[in-house]
Copies of this chain bind each other. A is one copy, B any other.
Amino acid sequence: MKNKHITKQSFSQETIKRLSLYLRNLKRLRERQIYVISSDKITSFLDATPEQFRKDLSYFGEFGKRGVGYNVERLIKEIENILGVNREWKIIIVGAGSLGSALLGFVGFSKFNIKITHAFDNDKRKVGKVRNGVKIYNITKIKSIIKDNDIKLAIISTPLEAAQNIADILVKSGIKGILNFAPVVLKVNKSVSVSNVDMTSELESLIFFAKG
């Protein structure tokens, strides 16, 4: 980072999510063989202005030339480096029910360098099975597998009641980032980052606004 007094915790999740969106737009531009770009092209399609883009990047260094624009390839590499997505990340899925199974079948993760390495469940009928190339382990093995494989990321797709207990185990085992699909606010210490995706409440709020 440009300023050594800035730590990762200084950034909001919103800033970092915007970097992720800029990165995706830059990759689209690269696919179209566009090599140099202005900041307003990078923010097109996004809910961000060129000014916001320049401000977000300024925390990390100087990447563009005034009046010339940004080198697409270099900026992709820089943002990948900032985000940490320039290497493969292992992720585990806890809860192999209907949602967990759907996620195991979602091949999109590999596109952005994330590999689902293990799944876990407490249902003995599921343990030992392989779904889309991922083996389902007994939940009792979770601590040792996380530690032995140096895994930092986890998806929680358990029922509501189990989620906090699972989160506690994950944090104790060294997990640093949790994507939570259970409809509960997880309590974790500040060194762990949680993103919540609650499809039910998203859908129920759409129904409320959609009904006649």
Binding site for B on A (CB under 8 A): 8-9, 11, 13, 16-17, 19-21, 23-24, 28, 45-47, 82-85, 89, 91, 98-99, 101-103, 105-109, 112, 114, 152-153, 160-161, 164, 176-179, 183-185, 193, 195, 197-211
Contact = CB atoms under 8 A, between A and B. Distances in A.
Number of copies of chain A assembled together: 2
Q: Which of A82, A106, A164 has the largest number of chain B CB atoms within 10 A?
A: A106
B179 A203 contact: yes
Contacts of A23: 204
A212 to B, nearest CB: 8
A8 B208 CA distance: 8
Nearest 8 pairs between A and B by C-beta? A177-B206, A176-B210, A193-B209, A84-B211, A177-B210, A20-B201, A20-B204, A47-B185
Contacts of A83: 204-205, 207-208
Contacts of A193: 205-206, 209-210
Contacts of A206: 153, 176-179, 193, 195
Given A23-B204, A102-B102, 10 more contacts: A16-B205, A20-B204, A46-B185, A99-B106, A108-B200, A114-B203, A176-B210, A177-B206, A179-B206, A195-B206
